[in-house]
Amino acid sequence: MKKTIPLVITFLIGFYMILAFFVPHPMVANSAQEMQSWEIIIVAFTLVLGIGNLVFVHAEKIQRRRQGWFYSLTLLICLGAMMALGLFGGIKEGTSYYWLYDNVMAPLSSAMFSLLAFFIASAAYRAFRARNKEATLLLIAAAIIMIGRVPLGSWLWQHIPLLGAKFPILLDQVTRWVMEVPNTAGQRGIKIGAALGAVSMALRMLLGIERSYLTTGGN
């Protein structure tokens, strides 16, 4: 029963949403829209579960004085302070909550994102080594794209003897071809496969064949 009820709900709601995709009449579309609104409301309530878990895990760490407990204490103080500021002072522009978000949270996120540039460099260094035929092909394609797409690229190309000066627009044409033909074809292939995979997975779930998301592996 514990498994059957969720499976029946999944089947009914899932196929109703598929029906709503093909039926624009308000009789069906409005109720489907209503269900999506309910989903948003339920998801908002689950945030309480998440925060509860966060508080529980870190409170236990502080209580048992585990390694790094001081950071957990800082986290809980910050969480409490932000919640109190938001609840009692509001979250609009000009409030303390807004100021803290704008001057602490946003710069920290930006700093984290900016690290991506350095990680790209280190990953590219490893990926672009000509270890075999495929890696060599990747290296050549990447080099062409990099020269063709960076602002300095065209200047560099013009100064390559016997090539850049003789064929001034060749680099641009080759870059465009690599991006538009093999790259797009590869992407489309993956997208088609992934879309069919997603449909197949969804159907398995709707038909109750795939139950491992409820427990492990349908054992």
Partner 1 sequence: MKKYWMLLLAAGLAFPALAVDPPANLKVCDAPNDDGRSVTITWNKSAAETADPVSFKGYRVLRAESASGPYAEAGFAFPGSVEFADNAVAPGVQYYYKLNAVTFSDSAQTEPAGPVISSAQWFNVARVNILIAFLAFTGLILLYIYKARHGADLFVRRIAGLQAVDEAIGRATEMGRPILYLPSGGLSAVSDIQTLASLVILGRVANKAAEYDTPLLVPCSDPLVMTLAQEIVKSGYMNAGRPDAYRAENIRYLTNEQFAYTAGVDGMMVREKPAANFMIGTFYAESLILAETGYSTGAIQIAGTAMITQLPFFVAACDYTLIGEEIYAASAYLSKEPVLLGTIKAQDWGKAAVIFLILAGVLLQTLALKFPSLGFFSRWLMPR
Note whether 46 binds partner 1 by CB under 8 A. Answer: yes
Smallest gap, in angstroms, from Cβ of residue 77 to partner 1? 16
Q: Which is nearer to partner 1, 4 or 46 (CB)?
A: 46
Among 9, 123, 143, 165, binds partner 1 (CB under 8 A): 123
Distance from C-alpha of 75 to C-alpha of 81, rounded to nearest angstrom: 10
SS3 assignment, position 208: coil
Note whether 107 binds partner 1 by CB under 8 A. Answer: no
Among 16, 34, 60, 181, binds partner 1 (CB under 8 A): 60
Decide: 35 and 13 in contact? Cβ < 8 Å: yes
Sorted by sequence, the CB contacts under 8 Å of residue 127 that are 6+ apart come out as 135, 138
Handedness of CA 177, 179, 182, 185 (dihedral sign): negative
182: how many CB neighbours lie within 10 A of its CB? 12
Tokens of 78: 């910050």
Query: Which part of the chain contacts partner 1 (CB under 8 A), choosing from 84-92, 102-110, 143-151, 158-166?
Result: 102-110
Which residues sit at the interface with partner 1, rule CB under 8 A?
Answer: 18, 21-27, 29, 39, 43, 46-51, 53-54, 56-57, 60, 68, 105, 108-109, 112-113, 115-116, 119-120, 122-124, 126-127, 187, 190-194, 196-205, 209-210, 212-219
